[in-house]
Structure 1
Amino acid sequence: MPIELPFDDEEASTSVDLKTQLVRFVATGVLSAVFDFALTLLLQSVAGAPYWLAKACGFILGTTIAYLINRRWTFRAEPSKARFIAVVLLYAVTFFVNIGLYSLLMHEWGSSLVASACAFVVAQGVATVINFVVQRTVIFKIR
C-alpha cells in the first residue's frame, strides 16, 4: 500500500468541490514547486549536475510531496493500489514532459538564475495542468 500521510482527521471522501480542489491543488503545487526548484538549483549550481539530472531529482522530490498531500487533502481519496499505479504512470508522462521542456528551454535561454526560473515555471506549468486534469477526471475517481 502507498505511504499514508496523516494530513487531517476527517474521513477521506471524493465529494470535494472543484473550487476547493483547485485551491488546494495550487497550494500544494506551490509548496512542492519550492522544494523541486530548490533542489534543482542546488544540484545545478552547487553540485554542477546537468540540467536534466538536476530537474529530474527536483521533479521526483516535488511530485512525491504533491502526491502525498493531494491524495489525502486535495482529492480526499482513500488509499488504492490501482490509483497509486495510475499516478505513477501519469507522473512518468509528466516527468518526461517537464524534464524535456525544462532542458530544451535551458539550452535555448542559457543558465542564468532568471533563465532557470522562467524555464522552471513554463515546464512546471505545463505539467501542473496535465496533472490536475488527469487526476481530477480519472485518477481520483478510481476506486
Structure 2
Amino acid sequence: MPVELPLDDEEASTSVPLKTQLIRFVATGAGSAVLDYGLTLALQYGLGAPFGVAKAFGFILGTTVAYLINRRWTFRAEPSTARFVAVLALYAVTFAVNVGLYSWLSHAWEETFVYSTAAFVVAQGVATVINFVVQRAVIFKIR
C-alpha cells in the first residue's frame, strides 16, 4: 500500500475541476522544485558532483514527493498498481528530458550559479508541462 498523505479528509475523486488541479499541481510542483533545486545545487556545488548526477538525485527526490502529493491532493486518485506503473514510465521520460536538458545547457553555458539556475528553470519547466498534461489526460484516469 503506497504512503498516504493526510492533506484533507475528502473522498478521493478524479472529478476535481481543471483550475483546482492546475493550482494544486503548481503549488505542489513549486515545493517539490525547491527540494529538487536545493539537492541539485548542494550536490553540484557543495560536493562537486557532475551536472547529470546532481540533477538526477534532485529529480528523484522532487518527483517522488510531487507524485505522492499530486496523487492524493491534486488528482484525488486512489492507489493503483496500473497507475503507479504508468507514472514510472512517465517519470522515465521526464527524467531523460529534465536531466538531459539540464546537462546539455550546463555544458553549453558558462558554469556559474546564475546559468545553473537558468538551466534548472528551463529543464524543470519543460518536464512540468509534460507531467501535467500526461497525468491529467492519461495517468489519473487509470483505475
Name the TM-score, length of structure 1 as normaliser: 0.98
* 1:10 shift after superposition: 1.0
Supply the distance in 2 between the matched residues of 1:83 and 1:4 (Cα, whole angstroms): 15
Q: Which amino acid aligns with 1:75?
A: F
Contact 1:86 1:139 in 2 (8 A): yes
2:49 aligns to what SS in structure 1?
Answer: coil
Alignment of 1:58-77 (within 5 A): 58-77=58-77
Partner of 2:86: 86
Partner of 1:47: 47
Supply the distance in 2 between the matched residues of 1:5 and 1:110 (Cα, whole angstroms): 41
Supply the distance in 1 between the matched residues of 2:56 and 2:6 (Cα, whole angstroms): 27
* 1:9 shift after superposition: 1.1
1:117 aligns to what SS in structure 2?
Answer: helix
Contact 1:2 1:84 in 2 (8 A): no
Partner of 2:11: 11
* 1:136 shift after superposition: 0.2
Supply the distance in 2 between the matched residues of 1:82 and 1:4 (Cα, whole angstroms): 17
Larger CA deviation: 123-132 vs 6-15: 6-15
Q: Deviations over 1:62-120 (max 9, x none)?
A: 00010000000000111111001100110011000000000000001122110011000
Alignment of 1:1-143 (within 5 A): 1-143=1-143
Q: Deviations over 1:7-40 (max 9, x none)?
A: 2111110110000000100000000000000000
Contact 1:2 1:81 in 2 (8 A): no
Q: Which amino acid aligns with 1:76?
A: R
Contiguous gaps of at least 5 residues in structure 2 = none
- Across the aligned residues of Structure 1 and Structure 2, the Cα RMSD in angstroms comes to 0.7
Contact 1:55 1:99 in 2 (8 A): yes
The sequence identity of aligned pairs, in percent, is 76
Name the TM-score, length of structure 2 as normaliser: 0.98
